[in-house]
Amino acid sequence: MLRLSSSDPGFAEAFAAVVADRRESAVDVAADVAAILRDVRERGDAALAELTTRFDGHDLDRTGWSIDAPACAKAFDALDPALREALELAAARIRAYHAAQLPEDRDYTDAAGVRLGATWRAVDAAGLYVPGGRAAYPSSLLMNAIPAKVAGVERLVVVTPTPNGEVNPLVLAAAHLAGVDEVWRVGGAHAVAALAYGTGRIAPVDVVTGPGNAWVAEAKRQLYGVVGIDMVAGPSEILVIADARNDARRIAADLLSQAEHDPTSQSILITDDAAFADAVAAAVELELAALATQATARASWSANGVVIDVGSLDEAPALANALAAEHVEIATEDAEALMRRIRHAGSVFLGRMTPEAVGDYVAGPNHVLPTGRRARFSSGLSVLDFMKRTSFIQLDQAALAAIGPAAVALADAEGLPAHARSISIRLGQ
Amino acid sequence: MLRLSSSDPGFAEAFAAVVADRRESAVDVAADVAAILRDVRERGDAALAELTTRFDGHDLDRTGWSIDAPACAKAFDALDPALREALELAAARIRAYHAAQLPEDRDYTDAAGVRLGATWRAVDAAGLYVPGGRAAYPSSLLMNAIPAKVAGVERLVVVTPTPNGEVNPLVLAAAHLAGVDEVWRVGGAHAVAALAYGTGRIAPVDVVTGPGNAWVAEAKRQLYGVVGIDMVAGPSEILVIADARNDARRIAADLLSQAEHDPTSQSILITDDAAFADAVAAAVELELAALATQATARASWSANGVVIDVGSLDEAPALANALAAEHVEIATEDAEALMRRIRHAGSVFLGRMTPEAVGDYVAGPNHVLPTGRRARFSSGLSVLDFMKRTSFIQLDQAALAAIGPAAVALADAEGLPAHARSISIRLGQ
Percent residues over pLDDT 70 in chain A: 99
Subunit contact B393:A354, Cβ cutoff 8 A: yes
Closest residue in A to B171 (Cα) is A414
Half-sphere exposure (CA, 13 Å, Cβ side) for B203?
9
- pLDDT in the model for residue A26: 65
Q: How far is it, in rounded angstroms, from Cα A345 to Cα A365?
A: 14
Q: Please compute the mean of the pLDDT values over residues A153-181 and round it to a whole number.
A: 95
> Taking phi first (over 0 means left), then psi (-120 to 50 degrees means alpha), and beta for anything else, what does residue B277 get?
alpha
Subunit contact B390:A347, Cβ cutoff 8 A: yes
The dihedrals phi and psi of B12, each to the nearest 5 degrees, come to: -55, -45
Query: Looking at the complex, does the CB of residue B285 fall below 8 Å from at least one CB of chain A?
Result: no
Subunit contact B417:A291, Cβ cutoff 8 A: yes
Rg (CA), chain A: 25
Q: Which ipTM score applies to this complex?
A: 0.95
**In this model, does residue A25 exceed pLDDT 80?**
no
Q: Please compute the mean of the pLDDT values over residues A140-148 and round it to a whole number.
A: 97
Pick B206's closest partner by Cβ from A354, A376, A411: A376
Counts of helices then strands in chain B (DSSP H, E): 18, 15
Give the residue ranges of chain B where pLDDT is below 50: none
If we measure between CA atoms, which residue out of A383, A374, A358, A329 comes closest to residue A139?
A358
The Cα-based distances of A52 to A20, A214, A405 in angstroms read 37, 17, 61
Which one is catalytic: B58, B327, B344, B367? B327
Pick A207's closest partner by Cβ from B293, B377, B425: B377
Half-sphere exposure (CA, 13 Å, Cβ side) for A236?
25
A203-244: pLDDT as tens digits: 999 999 998 888 999 999 899 989 999 987 889 999 999 999
Query: Looking at the complex, does the CB of residue A397 fall below 8 Å from at least one CB of chain B?
Result: yes
Taken in order of first residue, the domains within chain B and their CATH numbers are: 2-23+234-363 (3.40.50.1980), 30-104+122-229 (3.40.50.1980), 395-427 (no CATH)
If we measure between CA atoms, which residue out of B107, B109, B126, B130 comes closest to residue B118?
B107
Strands across the sheet containing A125-129: A66-67, A182-184, A155-159, A125-129, A207-209, A228-229
Is B270 in a helix, a strand, or coil? Answer: strand
Q: How far is it, in rounded angstroms, from Cα A171 to Cα A258?
A: 22
Is A229 in a helix, a strand, or coil? Answer: strand
B274-322: pLDDT as tens digits: 999 999 999 999 999 999 999 999 999 999 999 999 999 999 999 999 9
- Higher-confidence position of A132 and A396: A396
- pLDDT in the model for residue A201: 98
Pick A358's closest partner by Cβ from B355, B360, B403: B403
Sequence letter at residue B400: L
Which one is catalytic: B237, B287, B326, B356? B326
B229-246: pLDDT as tens digits: 998 788 999 999 999 999
Beta bridge partners of A208: A127, A229
